[in-house]
Amino acid sequence: METVLLTGGAGYIGSHTAVALLEAGYETVIADDLTNSEAGVIDRIKTITGRSPRFYNINVLDAAALDRVFEENEISAVLHFAGFKSVANSVKDPVGYYKNNVGTTITLLETMKKHGCGRFVFSSSATVYGCNNPIPYTEAMPTGSCASPYGWTKLVSERILFDAAVADSAFSAVILRYFNPIGAHESGLIGEKPNGVPDNLMPYITQLAAGKRDILRVFGSDYPTRDGTGVRDYIHVCDLAAGHLAALDYSRGHTGAEAFNLGTGRGVSVLELVRAFERVNGLSLPLEYAPRRPGDLAEYYADAGKAERVLGWRAEKTIDDMCRDSWRWQKNSENL
């Protein structure tokens, strides 16, 4: 069976994908410096799957360390999850964000070339569609006008991959544009664990439900949406993980660079998500309306048709599944 390298494999999306890969029989190598994750995740991946990923505690910017990973393992493909992901921090430290998010893409490409590895699956974001496209977003739409340096780091990395695929006709890049991943593995052993006060909606909701926050501030109640609050395409992280397996299958024999939306194709408002969470988990959440958050769009969701047609993948889990699994993880994570 193939050996796959997951950079950032101890993180939220990376760890769920590692589980899916191990369960499908792949050998996995994780390279992660644990800046936004913890070593215990590696053990918990083993508890869930009964199989161990090989783990390197390295920074992907460290070319010599990355070289050793390729020396010691026969890597056939790379899934590049490692990266900084806070929109707010990217505004404060744009240079650091470019250095890390673009720099790791470059060290990986150089090291892969040296070792004859030509399959790259990239964690991109729907934020590359910017603020001028109609919804739903299709992959053919123009990218750019990103709302943050974080968004631009993703778009610049995409650009590098498209150019690399032109220069090397044997190279394959599958670019996955994630919508809003939430939920957690149903074991309750892995999930999203943000540092400090969460910026994103679902981790904020679960911390509120756990009594760690006082009230949810709903950013904007006057958007031109069905209930005035922002609409997003929330996707269960396990569906997202399955999308990576489909991308990996596709990249075998594929050349060139190609982008795919990983979303459900359905928009859900902030209030709808809150109400679903309350109903499914039998809880009541205090909320207040607050001004719009700068940089937020009113509404966007994926046209998920291309991934279904070409990759043979589509999201299966419901908003109720996402709410149930996020809450189970929140409660369980306090004892880990």
Interface contacts to ligand UD1, rule CB under 6 A: 87, 125, 127, 147, 150-151, 180, 199-201, 204, 216-220, 230, 232, 270, 293, 295-296
Which residues are tagged catalytic? Answer: 150
When CB distances to ligand UD1 are compared, the closest residue is: 230
Q: In whole angstroms, how close is the CB of 150 to ligand UD1 at the nearest point?
A: 6
Per-residue tokens: 23 = 């369960």
β-strand partners of 28: 4
Burial 163-187, CB ≥16 within 10 A → b, else e: ebbeeeeebbbbbbbbbbbbbbbeb
Q: In whole angstroms, how close is the CB of 110 to ligand UD1 at the nearest point?
A: 26
For the CA atoms of 125, 54, 247, 36, what is the dihedral angle to 10 degrees?
A: -10
61, 35 contact by CB (below 8 A): no
Q: In whole angstroms, how close is the CB of 333 to ligand UD1 at the nearest point?
A: 18
Per-residue tokens: 253 = 């024999």
Report DSSP letters for 153-184, one per residue.
HHHHHHHHHHHHHHH-TT-EEEEEEE-EEE--
Closer by beta carbon to ligand UD1, 42 or else 216 = 216
Closer by beta carbon to ligand UD1, 220 or else 305 = 220
Burial 84-113, CB ≥16 within 10 A → b, else e: bbbbebbeeeeeebbebbbbbbebbbebbe
> Helix (H, G, I), strand (E, B), or coil: what is residue 60?
coil
Closer by beta carbon to ligand UD1, 69 or else 235 = 235
Closer by beta carbon to ligand UD1, 232 or else 328 = 232
Q: What does the radius of gyration of the chain's CA atoms come to, in whole angstroms?
A: 19
Q: Among the residues of the chain, which ranges form H helices? A: 12-23, 40-49, 63-72, 87-92, 94-114, 149-167, 201-209, 237-251, 270-281, 305-306, 319-333
Closer by beta carbon to ligand UD1, 56 or else 260 = 260
Closer by beta carbon to ligand UD1, 150 or else 260 = 150
Q: In whole angstroms, how close is the CB of 264 to ligand UD1 at the nearest point?
A: 14
257, 164 contact by CB (below 8 A): yes
Neighbour tally for 284: CB within 10 Å: 9
**Distance from CA of residue 164 to its chain's centroid?**
23
